[in-house]
Chains A and B, each alone.
Chain A
Amino acid sequence: MGMTKEQIAQRIARELRDGYYVNLGIGIPTLVANYIPSGMSVVLQSENGLLGMGPFPFEGEEDADLINAGKQTITTVPGSVFFDSAMSFGMIRAGKVDLTVLGAMEVSQDGDIANWKIPGKMVKGMGGAMDLVASARNIIVAMMHTNPKGESKLLPACQLPLTGIRCVKRIVSDLAVLDVYDGVFHLLERAPGVSVDYIKERTAGVLVVQGEIPEIVF
């Protein structure tokens, strides 16, 4: 039941607009790059210092000096530009990046996000996540609606240590598309074959459902 990771990415790609500068996080967000509509110009920002990230290199053409924020070998595209890490986060902080897509462990109905630390487990660090969520003009979270135990990850308040507060605007989960404003979740779309009740049961935070909720069509 619900959307695959590829379908979540495909749905998020519908939020892209021509001319957007976009930062894609690690995991499902990275997959969004595979669904940029043909003919649309979207420039991908990699926060380690690149605008205009291209696909992985062909075997034998890997360049140790050319990686993305996930430390993967990548390529450039025509019009690419390199810069240092301060300028990279400068353009993020200044709101020049149009859209940030990232994953989350928990999101609250106030738009708070937790995605960097689980108490009792080895903490690897927040990397650029705190900078991105604090500054991005538009943040879409790609996530699973529930954890493996079936418990909701869309909560009245985050239980895990926070990455940022009042910053998430939209969530695309495996079950639904939701907006976050006025301190509640608003249901916008249902995943194929998923009922409103099914989503309600798996949303621990306050969920507002207004009118007919359309089903996502692929």
Chain B
Amino acid sequence: MSWIALLAAAAAPAVLGDPTQEARARALDQEIRCVQCENEPIAQSTADIAQDMRRLVRERIADGDSDAEIRAYFRERYGDFVLFRPPFDERTLILWLAPALLAAAGLAAVWAQRRRNQADLTPEEGER
């Protein structure tokens, strides 16, 4: 780790004094991905870099940034990868629409099978 990063991290507290601010920081810790250890939020990681990223979150909060600004800040610095909530753009259009499309396709399949399922029922039985 470089000395500059060490100094920058040391300037921010590990825990914010204000409980509401600290709660916001912890929620953000869950959404931001540790860039060194794969697939862990910084809330969970024991890596040094995650510790620095946690301090960075608190530093931004102490400076008065909003949650959206902090997310944008991390995204600009580390790329989309760093946020566990995928962005909504043309790349992720299919991803975000998939649940609704799949649910609709399933409904259509169940509906299409309805006739076949009710083959030997009398019309009144089928109505129930």
A and B found bound together:
no
Instruction: Please list the residues of chain B having a beta carbon within 8 angstroms of any beta carbon in chain A.
Output: none
Which A residues fall within an 8 A CB radius of B? none
